[in-house]
Structure 1
Amino acid sequence: MSNPSKWPLPHAGVRFITPTFMLEKLARHPLTKDCYPTAMGYYPAASGHRMQRERHDDNLLLYCTSGRGQLTVGDWHSQVTAGHIMLLPQGLAHTYEADGDDPWTLYWVHFQGASTRVFMQYLGYREDRPLTSAGVSPLLIGAFTNLLEVRRTGYSTRAFINASNHLRHLITQMSMEISAHAGRLQSGFELDHVQAYMLEHIDQTITLDALAQVANMSKYHFSNRYKTLTGYPPIKHFLNMKMEHACHLLDSTDMGVSEIARGVGYDDPLYFSRLFSKTVGSSPRGYRSSTRK
């Protein structure tokens, strides 16, 4: 694996390397072989931090939560600021360093596994895009903090299996935060605001025109932007939200199907049941029966 930097670790910093015997277990175990951490850490206000790798043997994510730095990959160079994520897959030579006047604070994780290329692509890595942004997200900071807890387990195999799956969750959470941040950067378009409006009106019918008005965009541009950020057209996503809420009501209440249908905006319970079956894969009664066995 690529060794972490030898930056002098302060009292509040963390640098943890997965031992070789555990790496061998994780590489073989069916629950971890696709993606597992090889090293991880937290570098606060990392003055003097610098790393250059001509040979990079694993994959690396670095998340800047404050301060500044620079990243160079080949002829490409960029400043790194708070909220940026550096995506450095296996084989990519690179150099990065903290700013001299305002050094960055970093959370980082090296990882390996059979599916790491897929995970990097899922985060949006392209040959000309080793840098992306999720903003400064408390959710991601919390996810990194949870991942780092594995260093206090006495090299427990079960704890490392759990940490490997925390890492998968971190990556998928990171993808969601990247998407949400991109939406917030769009002039006049706040994805969180639009989706909050959807949830507030989950018991009603909303038109595409109404959602575009909430987003302060034309219907055409709103629909295209929403699908780019979420993978769904807005009305289809609203339908999915309704069915998620219907599942919650079926799980957590004794409300009848007709009452639940009205609770998600459908006066016709038969029509609601058809939509539910098409979306979820079973009838409302069948879903309730399967969750209460």
Structure 2
Amino acid sequence: MSQPSSWPLPSGSSRVVLPLQLTRQLARHALTKHLYPLAYGHYVDAVGHHVERKKHTDHLLIFCHRGRGYFRTAHAEGELKAGQLLLLPSNEAHTYAASTTQPWSIYWAHFQGTSAAACMDFLDLSPAQPVLTLTRWRQLIPVVTDLLNLQTQRHQFTAAVVAASLLQRIIAELPRLTSTLQVPTEFDLAALERFMYDNSHRDLSLDDFAEFAGLSRYYFSKKFKQFTGTSPMRYFNQIRVKIACQLLDNSADSIRQISQQLGFEDPYYFSRLFKKTMGMSPQFYRQTITNQRG
């Protein structure tokens, strides 16, 4: 297997590399041998991400959902922008990197299988044209989320079989997501919620969420409140407070460090928001949890 990049993982990013013994089982099993993952992950705001491989033993799929990057092979080179997917076949030497000014956020997967080489034809791609533009990619976020959530069970064969089936489904869905015939009038709340969790370390605005949903600011706010009963920004801040509670429970990081991890430049504002949401300060919350454990 080609070694995945060793890019340092910041908050919100993840990388799963399946053990060799497990991938050998997947290569033999009737349900998975035609296509199965070797490694997969999600890199958020991948500053400094750069990979160069002269030998490449498996197939690699990279989908950019924010920012941009660049790629080069013996047959093609170009830019990979938000909403575009790059498929690099095995035995294709390549280089790719995040933009220095707008570093990409990407979902990626290394995969193999007896049918892996057929993916290029299935997606109507070629070594000279390896990029696919997906206009409705957000519909796949729940499936991608299910795949990423399997990382805690990655050493279990049954979970690996599920991971293979999810990867197969993702690839199977790609052609229909290139259509521009449908104009979105609603949005996928599950996909948006995943976007909020993935970007809980950033100070996002209403415009960022409306852009992700593909809707105008006004229409998005209206529809979001109809679905959830609250505003997008309050919903996002509730998610960040929920993550803060987990960090207060399970880490020794200071309140300032936790606030910075969650994109709050002002720790006092973070503390006020936490108290407004939880009814107590972060300090008192941590002390209460500690006393309960004692």
TM range (shorter): 0.5 to 0.7
Following TM superposition, by how much is the alpha carbon of 1:162 offset from its aligned partner in structure 2, in angstroms?
1.2
Q: Which amino acid counterpart does residue 171 of structure 1 have in structure 2?
A: I
Distance 1:143 1:176 in 2: 15
Where do residues 1-293 of structure 1 align in structure 2 (5 Å cutoff)? 1-74=1-74, 76-135=76-135, 137-153=137-153, 155-178=155-178, 180=179, 184=180, 191-192=181-182
Per-residue CA deviation, residues 159-182 of structure 1 (Å, 9 max, x unaligned), is 11111111110001112212x1xx
Distance 1:137 1:154 in 2: 25
Structure 1 residues not aligned, in runs of 5+ = 185-190, 194-293
Following TM superposition, by how much is the alpha carbon of 1:144 offset from its aligned partner in structure 2, in angstroms?
1.8
- The 3-state SS of whatever aligns with 1:91 is coil
Distance 2:6 2:78 in 1: 23
Per-residue CA deviation, residues 16-38 of structure 1 (Å, 9 max, x unaligned), is 10111101110100000000000
- The 3-state SS of whatever aligns with 2:148 is helix
Following TM superposition, by how much is the alpha carbon of 1:80 offset from its aligned partner in structure 2, in angstroms?
1.1
TM-score under structure 1 normalisation? 0.60
| Contact 2:69–2:103 (Cα < 8 Å) also in 1 | yes
Q: Which amino acid counterpart does residue 65 of structure 1 have in structure 2?
A: H
| Contact 1:82–1:135 (Cα < 8 Å) also in 2 | no
Following TM superposition, by how much is the alpha carbon of 1:148 offset from its aligned partner in structure 2, in angstroms?
1.4
- The 3-state SS of whatever aligns with 2:125 is coil
Q: Partner residue of 2:192?
A: none
Distance 2:17 2:105 in 1: 19
Per-residue CA deviation, residues 169-203 of structure 1 (Å, 9 max, x unaligned), is 0001112212x1xxx2xxxxxx236xxxxxxxxxx
Closer, same or farther in 2 for the Cα pair 1:63/1:136, shift >3 Å?
A: farther
Distance 1:157 1:176 in 2: 30
Distance 2:79 2:136 in 1: 16
Distance 2:73 2:154 in 1: 37
Distance 1:52 1:18 in 2: 21
Higher relative contact order (CA 8 A, sep 6+): 2
Larger radius of gyration between Structure 1 and Structure 2: 1
Following TM superposition, by how much is the alpha carbon of 1:132 offset from its aligned partner in structure 2, in angstroms?
1.3
Following TM superposition, by how much is the alpha carbon of 1:140 offset from its aligned partner in structure 2, in angstroms?
2.3
| Contact 1:59–1:112 (Cα < 8 Å) also in 2 | yes
Per-residue CA deviation, residues 23-72 of structure 1 (Å, 9 max, x unaligned), is 11101000000000000000000000010111110001000000011111
| Contact 1:59–1:90 (Cα < 8 Å) also in 2 | yes
- The 3-state SS of whatever aligns with 1:165 is helix
| Contact 2:136–2:177 (Cα < 8 Å) also in 1 | no
Distance 2:8 2:43 in 1: 10
Which 4+ stretches in 1 moved above 4 angstroms?
A: none
Identity, in percent, stands at: 36
Following TM superposition, by how much is the alpha carbon of 1:75 offset from its aligned partner in structure 2, in angstroms?
5.5
Distance 1:148 1:17 in 2: 12
- The 3-state SS of whatever aligns with 1:116 is coil
- The 3-state SS of whatever aligns with 2:64 is strand
Aligned length: 183
- The 3-state SS of whatever aligns with 2:48 is coil
Q: Which amino acid counterpart does residue 12 of structure 2 have in structure 1?
A: A
Task: Kindly report the root-mean-square deviation, in angstroms, between the aligned alpha carbons of the 2 structures.
Answer: 1.4
Distance 2:86 2:21 in 1: 28
Closer, same or farther in 2 for the Cα pair 1:72/1:156, shift >3 Å?
A: same
